[in-house]
Amino acid sequence: MRIVFSVPRYHPNHDGMVLGLRRAGHQVHFLVRSTNPTEHYGEGVEVTRVPGPGTFRTVEGWSEPAFDAGEQRLPPLAFLRAYLKRVRPDLVIGRNASVLNMALFLLCRAMGIRFLLYGLSPDGYEQLPLQRRLMLRLGLWPAHTINTVSAAPKHDVPGKTYDFIPFAVEPFGDAKSDWATGLPISILAVGKLDQARKNHVPLVRTLGEMLRAGQVRLTLAGLLGETPGPAFQALRDEITLQGVTEAVQMRTNLSYGAARELYGAHDLFVMPSRKEPAGIAPVEAMASGLAVIVGSDCGTRYFVEPGETGFIFEAGDFEQMRGQVQHFVDAPSELRRMGRNALARIETHFTPEIFERNLMRIVENRFGVI
């Protein structure tokens, strides 16, 4: 099949999807609103940017795609029609009910192309007001929704179908085989270093006593803009205030390969950030053989089996998170047990091949014979 993903931008959480589809012989294309020089595309993936001005804005010192503004502009219909004629997709998967994707859906409907509406909402798909229900009844709104973070919608929408399809990740070929048997424990956290919502400051504050006591060491890895803003300065100030400059390492703007190598060099992964709708870093950590700790509002928390592959703390409850780190400090052997369990969970439930089979099953169920 030729499959087009229409998404705001290419994200690392697409890597496992692409790998599974490509291995099964499918052609994969991405239609995006914005691109970034730091992006790394899967082999053989064609990425096409929809023409349009002003696709980036500054958020907390970092250049981010302006999804809201960019997606609400009137889409270039002639471009989209020409794109569909050139690529001739068998399936289009559009993330979010943006103006762009609604236009793309109507073109697909006119051209006889299958279309799935793809969401990351923890509530499932959006609730349809009266006018959208009328559009659904008239065939002007996508009838089939898939979601990668919510196993079931909170409320059903008459006339719409719903399928949960988990993210996928390739188990690392050089998965970790040696974990700390004593102290210090090496902890990795990944996220943009100049965004306050990544919660690096409270992470350092919460682990301050452990860091000073030599029980843990911490690596903060992530992107950093050319002109760091107040969030990054606050992080540096907190590291100094806690007196842990020797125990905290920051790794910035790493290449794709170097970033992936970090997992195997650490014993435990922690994601303290809030409202992380589809963070793939903890999943990659599990695929490397690491136990993980994530917040309850992390969209990929369903990968974690509490007490078996890591822990889930109540979003914003850093004392609870501290207790979970303390669990490993008190019993370093748990790093090996949970790390092995984490890798096994990826290998048995969330590989690229499993994603491809899940998607093909959904397509067959919703559209008939492939």
CATH number of 185-349: 3.40.50.2000
331 Cβ contact partners less than 8 Å away, ≥ 6 residues apart: none
pLDDT attached to residue 61: 45
Decide: 32 and 48 in contact? Cβ < 8 Å: yes
Mean pLDDT, residues 284-297: 96
Mean pLDDT, residues 206-232: 94
pLDDT attached to residue 17: 96
d(CA 39, CA 78): 27
d(CA 273, CA 295): 7
pLDDT attached to residue 367: 95
**Rounded mean pLDDT of the chain?**
91
SS3 letters across the chain: CEEEEEECCCCHHHHHHHHHHHHCCCEEEEEECCCCCCCCCCCCCEEEECCCCCCEEEECCEEEECHHHHHHCCCCHHHHHHHHHHHCCCEEEEECCCHHHHHHHHHHHHHCCEEEEEECCCCCCCCCCHHHHHHHHCCCCCCEEEECCCCCCCCCCCCCEEEECCCCCCCCCCCCCCCCCCCCEEEEEECCCCCHHHCHHHHHHHHHHHHHCCCEEEEEEECCCCCCCHHHHHHHHHHHHHCCCCCEEEEECCCHHHHHHHHHCCCEEEECCCCCCCCCHHHHHHHCCCEEEEECCCCCHHHCCECCCEEEECCCCHHHHHHHHHHHHHCCHHHHHHHHHHHHHHHHHCCHHHHHHHHHHHHHHHHCCC
Q: Is the dihedral of CA 118, 121, 127, 131 positive or negative?
A: negative
pLDDT tens-digit profile of 166-187?
Answer: 999 999 877 788 999 999 999 9
- Tell me: pLDDT of 281 over 60: yes
355 Cβ contact partners less than 8 Å away, ≥ 6 residues apart: 16, 17, 20, 21, 165, 166, 167, 168
CATH number of 2-168+351-367: 3.40.50.2000
pLDDT attached to residue 72: 52
**Which of 79-88, 112-121, 130-139, 330-339 bottoms out in mean pLDDT, i.e. has the lowest?**
130-139
Decide: 328 and 334 in contact? Cβ < 8 Å: yes
Residues of the chain with CATH 3.40.50.2000: 2-168+351-367, 185-349
pLDDT attached to residue 58: 45
Q: ∠ CA(244), CA(250), CA(256), 5° rounding?
A: 155
Instruction: Record the pTM.
Output: 0.90
| Closest CA relative to residue 11, chosen from 238, 278, 274 | 278
pLDDT band of 73, cuts 50, 70, 90: low
pLDDT attached to residue 54: 44
Mean pLDDT, residues 213-239: 94
Mean pLDDT, residues 248-273: 92
Mean pLDDT, residues 237-261: 93
**Which of 240-244, 252-256, 296-300 bottoms out in mean pLDDT, i.e. has the lowest?**
252-256
pLDDT attached to residue 309: 98
Mean pLDDT, residues 190-197: 93
Q: Is 235 exposed, middle or buried (0-12, 13-18, 19+ CB in 10 A)?
A: buried
Q: Which residues face 250 on adjacent strands?
A: 220
**Which residue matches tokens 């030729």?**
2
pLDDT tens-digit profile of 22-44?
Answer: 999 999 999 998 887 778 887 78
Cis peptide bond N-terminal to 184, omega within 30: yes
pLDDT attached to residue 258: 87
230 Cβ contact partners less than 8 Å away, ≥ 6 residues apart: 60, 61
d(CA 204, CA 356): 39
d(CA 331, CA 348): 27
Q: What's at 220, amino acid-wise?
A: L
Distance of CA 300 to the CA centre of its chain: 7
Percent of the chain with pLDDT over 70: 94
